[in-house]
Amino acid sequence: MFNYVLKRLLQMIPTLIGVSLLSFIILQLVPGDPAELIAGLDASPEEVQIIRERLGTDRPLYEQYIDYNWQLLQGDFGTSLRSDNPVLQEILERFPSTVNLTILATLVTVVIGLFSGIIAATKPGSVRDHTAMAFSLFGISMPVFWLGIILILVFAYYIPILPSGGSSELKHFVLPALVLGISSAAVLSRLTRSSILEVINQDYIRTAKAKGVRQWLIIYKHALKNAFVPIITVIGMEIGNLLGGAVLTETVFSMNGLGRYIIQSIQFRDYSAVQGSILFVALLFVIVNLLVDLCYAAVDPRIRYDRKEA
């Protein structure tokens, strides 16, 4: 197990280098000069050039990229062009809001997704099966920003029981968590249904039925347990998608989270902030994937990450 974890941690290095290189190249292709934005419309070319020299954007791109990675090795994500504060400090200030949103959205995903998938699999072809799959199709098809606007209209305007924005109290996270969770729950519901249907006709399930074991016990103790490995995979992937989906959701609900911070940084051409945020989110992705792989062994005793398998 230790060798496997060490190997996966070492694999993070080329992954993060690739993310930093790709984000650096893409940002350089974005139209606009941050020096001109900082200097203002009335600035002279000489003033703009002085700002470029201070920011280092007048140097060759390869020198900028090397310096950026050298700073990363020292734990320095750069300095924000908007606020002149350390990027890592600003990320960590907004990260708790995004984490809270992701946790609540994951809870919505697991509860709704597993429940609807199970009730659909227990009676395939029935009304509740078609209803659950219709919900799944709805969740997959609806864009996050559209669903967020609809929920704001219903629950913040027509039936004003929840706030339409903010991130200081638990009630501010209810609507955003529902928006993110419903979309992910739709994916989990379909996979749960198909996974349970694959194992529900196995011999050990028929044996349990012949012994008179109740159906709910067969589903939860036998079928769901053996179908849980692909379900865990999707849950892990959806956690990553929830972190990415927070970019739009936090903007729609005016939340002070990492997603909205990325949008604001892109609008201002704040290269350091955008690169640092992307790298930070990529690091979270690979950590979540590692934790998901480790969960396999806990769910299925047949899976072991010994030295030979690693």
pLDDT tens for 102-149 read 889 889 988 898 888 888 888 888 888 888 888 888 888 888 888 889
d(CA 263, CA 26): 15
Confidence at residue 308, expressed as pLDDT on a 0 to 100 scale: 47
- What is the percentage of the chain residues whose pLDDT exceeds 70? 93
In a domain, 86, yes or no: no
Regarding whether 267 and 150 lie in a shared domain, the answer is yes
- What would the DSSP string read from start to end of 110-157? HHHHHHHHHHHHHSTTSHHHHHHHHHHHHHHHS-HHHHHHHHHIIIII
In a domain, 27, yes or no: no
Q: How many domains does the chain have?
A: 2
Regarding whether 105 and 41 lie in a shared domain, the answer is no
Average pLDDT over residues 262-283: 85
Regarding whether 170 and 41 lie in a shared domain, the answer is no
Tokens of 19: 């993310």
Regarding whether 261 and 224 lie in a shared domain, the answer is yes
Mean pLDDT of the chain: 81
Contact indicator for 301, 27 with CB cutoff of 8 Å? no
Average pLDDT over residues 285-300: 76
Convert the pLDDT of each residue in 37-82 to its tens digit. 777 777 788 888 888 887 777 788 888 888 888 888 888 888 887 7
pTM of the model: 0.80
Please say if the pLDDT value at position 300 is more than 70: no
Convert the pLDDT of each residue in 33-43 to its tens digit. 777 777 777 77
Please say if the pLDDT value at position 222 is more than 60: yes
Tokens of 269: 């051409």
**CATH (domain of 214):** 1.10.3720.10
Confidence at residue 309, expressed as pLDDT on a 0 to 100 scale: 44
In a domain, 64, yes or no: yes
Regarding whether 175 and 220 lie in a shared domain, the answer is yes
Average pLDDT over residues 206-216: 76
Regarding whether 246 and 179 lie in a shared domain, the answer is yes
CA-to-CA separations, 12 to 7, 17, 24, 181, in angstroms, rounded: 9, 9, 18, 28
Give the structural domain span for 110.
Answer: 94-299
Residue 82 backbone phi and psi in degrees, to 5: -80, -50
Regarding whether 195 and 47 lie in a shared domain, the answer is no
301: confidence class by pLDDT, cuts 50, 70, 90:
low
297: confidence class by pLDDT, cuts 50, 70, 90:
low
Regarding whether 99 and 49 lie in a shared domain, the answer is no
In a domain, 310, yes or no: no
In a domain, 307, yes or no: no
Regarding whether 137 and 285 lie in a shared domain, the answer is yes
Regarding whether 248 and 187 lie in a shared domain, the answer is yes
In a domain, 134, yes or no: yes
In a domain, 177, yes or no: yes
d(CA 41, CA 37): 8
Regarding whether 43 and 173 lie in a shared domain, the answer is no
Regarding whether 173 and 69 lie in a shared domain, the answer is no
